[in-house]
């Protein structure tokens, strides 16, 4: 039972969920290379769509995602990765989770505070 | 701040999470129509990639997803939908969650039991 990379131009969505809290931290995309790298290294690795390259999450920030368990769905075209997140936050904008905005009265409203200063970590780069 | 539907041919991934338990139940895709329908109706509605049409989750089974809260990510290209799931399971294969298989020793192993009989619900159709 191999994963099905055929539906999104060679990519599958990977939902990253905190293994302890159950919080959804981010969604990335993996191609077959990123998937193999994730299995080999034990760190969540994605295909960056904007940079078109393999992207070890945390390669700049040190905020790596240690894989604890992986599940797949009925169609084998999506994975759910339970992780221990190293560092204060997963989001390059400075938040614990990339999902830091909640739809409120028709607008996206910041619903939590940042957990670190992204400029200090990324030096102005995202 | 509008959602960005440009990256995946007009689609965004929508992660569906149980609002009570925190369990990730499924990942679907929404186009702009499905997004608007979700907001209008309060029931999670997707774009079916296989049938190429609007898909009210639960239209056959009655297992609808009542939207409780919606969050978006830093890039505005993914949403996290917290729901109350009506019925015994979200997955058309008969499970509470579509993520019913866990990577175990290099194989995808069923890690939980079905919660309903899909043949009784869908009459042989998925």
Q: Across the interface, which of B27, B74, B92 has its CB nearest the CB of A78?
A: B27
Question: Which pLDDT band holds residue B124 (cuts at 50, 70, 90)?
Answer: low
- What is the residue-wise DSSP string for B28-89? EEE-HHHHHHHHHHSB-EEEETTTTEEEETTTTT---EEEEEEEE-TTSS-EEEEEEEPSS-
Distance (Å, whole) CA A109 – CA B83: 19
Query: Tens digit of pLDDT for each residue in A42-91?
Result: 999 999 988 999 999 999 899 999 999 999 999 999 999 999 999 999 99
Per CB-CB distance under 8 Å, the chain A contacts of B92 are: 74
Say whether A71 and B1 touch across the interface (CB within 8 A): no
> For residue A107, is pLDDT > 90?
yes
Query: Tens digit of pLDDT for each residue in A1-26?
Result: 799 999 998 999 999 999 999 999 99
Q: Provide, rounded to the nearest whole percent, the portion of chain B with pLDDT above 90.
A: 90
Mean pLDDT for the stretch of residues A25-50: 97
Q: Across the interface, which of A27, A78, A103 has its CB nearest the CB of B73?
A: A27
Question: Which pLDDT band holds residue A124 (cuts at 50, 70, 90)?
Answer: low
Say whether A72 and B103 touch across the interface (CB within 8 A): yes
Say whether A74 and B98 touch across the interface (CB within 8 A): yes
Greatest distance between any 2 Cα atoms in chain B: 45
Say whether B103 and A71 touch across the interface (CB within 8 A): yes
Per CB-CB distance under 8 Å, the chain B contacts of A15 are: 15, 24, 27
Say whether A71 and B8 touch across the interface (CB within 8 A): no
Taking phi first (over 0 means left), then psi (-120 to 50 degrees means alpha), and beta for anything else, what does residue B87 get?
A: left
Contacting B with CB below 8 Å, chain A residues are 1, 7-8, 13, 15, 17, 21-24, 26-27, 49, 69-76, 78, 80, 91-93, 95, 98-103, 107-108, 111
- Distance from the A103 Cα atom to the nearest Cα atom in chain B, whole angstroms: 6
> For residue A111, is pLDDT > 80?
yes
Instruction: Give residue B123's pLDDT.
Output: 74
Q: Provide, rounded to the nearest whole percent, the portion of chain B with pLDDT above 70.
A: 98
Query: Tens digit of pLDDT for each residue in B54-101?
Result: 999 999 899 999 999 999 999 999 999 999 999 999 999 999 999 999
Mean pLDDT for the stretch of residues B43-49: 95
Question: Which pLDDT band holds residue B126 (cuts at 50, 70, 90)?
Answer: very low
Three-class SS of residue A23? coil
Instruction: Give residue B50's pLDDT.
Output: 85
Instruction: Give residue A1's pLDDT.
Output: 74
Interface test with A, best of B10, B46, B52, B80 (most A CBs within 10 A): B80
Torsion, Cα A125 A96 B97 A11, to 10 degrees, reads 10
Residue owning tokens 């409203």? A109
């Amino acid at each position: 039972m191999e994963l099905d990379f055929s539906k999104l131009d060679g990519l599958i969505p990977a939902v990253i969920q905190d293994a302890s809290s159950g919080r959804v931290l981010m969604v990335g995309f993996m191609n077959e290379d990123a998937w193999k790298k994730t299995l080999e290294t034990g760190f969540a690795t994605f295909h960056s769509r904007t940079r078109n390259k393999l992207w070890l999450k945390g390669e700049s920030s040190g905020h790596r995602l240690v894989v604890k368990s992986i599940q797949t769905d009925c169609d084998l075209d999506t994975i759910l990765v339970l992780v221990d997140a190293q560092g204060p936050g997963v989001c390059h904008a400075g938040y614990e989770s990339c999902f830091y905005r909640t739809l409120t009265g028709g607008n996206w409203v910041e619903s939590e505070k940042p957990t670190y200063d992204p400029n200090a970590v990324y030096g102005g780069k995202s």
